[in-house]
């Protein structure tokens, strides 16, 4: 598998790394995903889709917080990926982030995996 880093973006509260792994783009946000940092995730997700990578795996293991703006970024990426024949897979969500998805019902529209390995295999 190709595990090369494709790119990264960072603000004081969010770091986003992107790498290709097999046929998937693995996007790893680390820190807080909110109104002030959402574009740092939106831009690489849209970049992956523009390059034709429609299977996006979001490694949430280092995501400490996600508000409604962050959730909307992920939902928007999901719609675009599915329109292109792909999808968004969420992996290894921390309990505080998983709770946001549970409360809003968003967990029902994503493929959610306990681990990154399971998301890549799925």
Kindly report, residue by residue over 46-104, the tens digit of the pLDDT. 999 999 999 999 999 999 999 999 999 999 999 999 999 999 999 999 999 999 999 99
CA gap 18, 84 in Å, rounded:
20
Which ranges of 51-91 does DSSP label H, i.e. alpha helix?
68-83
**Least confident span in 7-16, 48-57, 58-67, 110-119:** 7-16
Q: Give the domain 5-121 fold.
A: Transcription Regulator spoIIAA (3.30.750)
Q: Is 99:108 a contact under the CB 8 Å cutoff?
A: no
Q: Which two tokens stand for residue 102?
A: 């549970």
Domains of the chain, residue spans? 5-121
How far is 36 from 59, CA to CA, in rounded Å?
A: 20
For the cut 60, the answer to whether the pLDDT of residue 12 exceeds it is: yes
User: What's the pLDDT score for residue 3?
Assistant: 41
Nearest residue to 25 via CA among 10, 46, 11, 40: 46
């Amino acid at each position: 598998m190709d595990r090369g880093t494709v790119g990264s973006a960072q603000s004081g509260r969010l770091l986003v790394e992107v790498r290709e792994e097999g046929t998937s783009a693995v996007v790893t946000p680390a820190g807080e995903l909110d109104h002030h940092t959402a574009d740092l995730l939106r831009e690489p997700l849209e970049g992956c889709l523009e390059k034709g990578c429609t299977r996006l795996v979001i490694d949430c293991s280092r995501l400490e917080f996600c508000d409604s703006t962050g959730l909307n970024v992920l939902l928007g990426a999901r719609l675009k990926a599915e329109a292109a024949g792909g999808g968004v897979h969420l992996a290894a969500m921390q309990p505080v982030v998983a709770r946001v998805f549970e409360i809003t019902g968003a967990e029902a529209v994503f493929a959610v995996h306990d681990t990154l390995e399971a998301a890549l295999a799925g």
